[in-house]
Amino acid sequence: MKSYDAVIIGSGINALVAGAVLSKGGWKVALCERNDRPGGAIRTEAATLPGYTHELLASWHPLFLGGPAYAELAPLLEKRGVEYKNTPAPTGVICKEGSAILFTDAAATAAEFDRLGDKAAWEGMLGEFMGKIDLAFGLLGADLWKRKSFKLLLNARRRFGTRGLIGTAPEILEPAAPWLDRTFTSEVSKSLLAPWALHNGLGPDDASSAFITKVISAAVALGGMPVPVGGGVVLVNALHGIIKEGGGTIITNFDVTEIITEGGKAVGVRSAGGEEVRAGKAVLASVTPQALYNTLIPAKNVPETFKKAANNFRYGRAGFQIHLALSSKPEWKRDARLGDVAIVHVMDGMDSLSESVNASNRGWLPRRPTIVVGQPCTIDPTRAPDGASILWIQLQENPQVIKGDLAGEINIGDGTWTDEIRDAYAERVINQICEEIPNLRSLIKAQINLGPADLERMNVNLVGGDPYAGDCRIDQYAAWRPLSSATGHRTPVRGLWHIGASTHPGPGLGGGSGFLVASRLLGRK
């Protein structure tokens, strides 16, 4: 039996951040990972051909680079070889009405919106939002269950007054579609911004999607789309190194099946094989609410209110990934500039975006999905051999159980995602991209399709293939994530803390929940 100050279940970004911060604070930490490698949703592999480095799941690191975990750990990470590169052209769109690029250079972006007839609208939105950006990011990154978080509310009240503060609620809750229609005139402008709410699990008709669109658009315009040279595995290895230097470890192939409790306190974990790892101070679980309250915590320690809230936790739309190894750089037919953009959204427009999200929510395969075409080699050319390239393709509008196909082309069988349905749907996506990159098929040397079932097999927290480990609509966000009872990262078991994408501040490679809980445990004010 091994003993540590803290034991963490899982080894995704939140677990790694928590482990590294605690190790830096003098704690000896063990991470218990059920898979054969650490990293969670960071999975870097030469998965297609030698020389091609793919991020099979998450890829982009703006949340981490702009967050508090990196601010604290940067010197230690750089010492271990983590080098981030960025791009002046982080995102763009190509739709029926045209194309556009959002740059990190303010003048270049202003010129782009001027071309679309929306310069005043963009600068007005950004100027107004910049006056509140500290509060917006503070709200999304704060530990909502510490007294300090109320200072955000007091600060906002002093700045805007009571009436002004109350008046911000509709702004925070407004869907993106009506806000975009009211603010911008060009369909291209709307299409450039609208898909970014998808990256937080929201559709353009969902409450709060306008607020999230503003937050992400501002973050991308200010911070770009950074990635670590060599892939996310470099960050995973560096965080692991910090943990080891503090006397800790990561134990792989260790499937935790029970949290050991004594006298109502968490004191360790037990594996399927009966092996125990003890924790002298705390246990952190980077798992879903159902896994925590229905499986890991002994039933006698789970109040009925917690169990009911956990069982009511919903999962969202499924993810889908396509990875292509290309013989050379793709050529965009209508706008050659897109060849230098990190992430390009390929879509028909706002209507197709709404249609696809709503269709997926009701169980239907979209007819014309919104396609996220990532081009990592625009930032890190080492991801492919000289002159070659890769594409990281993501789809976020997929049903977990299929009721039908809007295009009427794919036989859905009993609604289960089979390899045949997965590959047929991937073919639809490639055909849609080929409308904009006509030479794409001639460039493909290898291809990997990962459907919802594949994603869940790779990471058990991605229930049904949900890449965000839980529906992110407003009733399951902020104070109501992970439980509607608003208990935050605390659990009914002393010394047991809940972290991960299913908890506040939600999904993404930011490490936010791991950092918040580690800071609490270290007694930081």
Report the mean per-residue pLDDT for the chain.
Answer: 95
pLDDT of residue 150: 67
pLDDT of residue 138: 74
Q: Give percent of the chain with pLDDT exceeding 70.
A: 97
Q: Give how far Cα 182 sits from Cα of 166, 177, 179, Å.
A: 21, 9, 5
Let me know: does 104 contact 217? Beta carbons within 8 Å: no
pLDDT, one tens digit per residue, over 282-323 is 999 999 999 999 999 999 999 999 999 999 999 999 999 999
- What is the average per-residue pLDDT within 97-106? 98
Given a cut of 70, whether residue 525 has pLDDT beyond it is no
- What is the average per-residue pLDDT within 431-445? 98
What is the rounded distance in angstroms from the CA atom of residue 7 to the CA atom of residue 269? 8
What is the b/e burial string over 340-376, where b = at least 16 CB atoms within 10 angstroms of the residue's CB?
bbbbbbbbbbbebbbbbbebbbeebbbbbbbbbbbbb
What is the rounded distance in angstroms from the CA atom of residue 515 to the CA atom of residue 20? 9
Given a cut of 90, whether residue 44 has pLDDT beyond it is yes
Given a cut of 80, whether residue 155 has pLDDT beyond it is no
- What is the average per-residue pLDDT within 383-397? 98
Place of tokens 């595995």: 233
pLDDT of residue 243: 98
The neighbour count for residue 264, using CB atoms within 10 Å, is 11
pTM (two decimals): 0.95
> Is the Cα dihedral 374, 377, 380, 385 positive or negative?
positive
Given a cut of 90, whether residue 128 has pLDDT beyond it is no
pLDDT of residue 520: 95
pLDDT of residue 151: 72
Report residue 274 as tokens.
């009966």
pLDDT of residue 387: 96
**Strand ranges, E, within 243-310:** 249-251, 256-262, 265-271, 276-286
> Is the Cα dihedral 423, 427, 429, 430 positive or negative?
positive
What is the rounded distance in angstroms from the CA atom of residue 242 to the CA atom of residue 259? 25
- What is the average per-residue pLDDT within 105-127? 97
Q: Give percent of the chain with pLDDT exceeding 90.
A: 89
pLDDT of residue 96: 97
The candidate with the shortest Cα–Cα distance to 112, out of 434, 342, 391, 338, is 338
- pLDDT range class, residue 165, cuts 50, 70, 90: low
pLDDT of residue 157: 67
pLDDT, one tens digit per residue, over 51-91 is 999 999 999 999 999 999 999 999 999 999 999 999 999 99
- Domains assigned to the chain: 2-42+58-85+230-313+470-521 (3.50.50.60), 110-222 (no CATH), 317-458 (no CATH)
The candidate with the shortest Cα–Cα distance to 431, out of 410, 413, 412, is 410
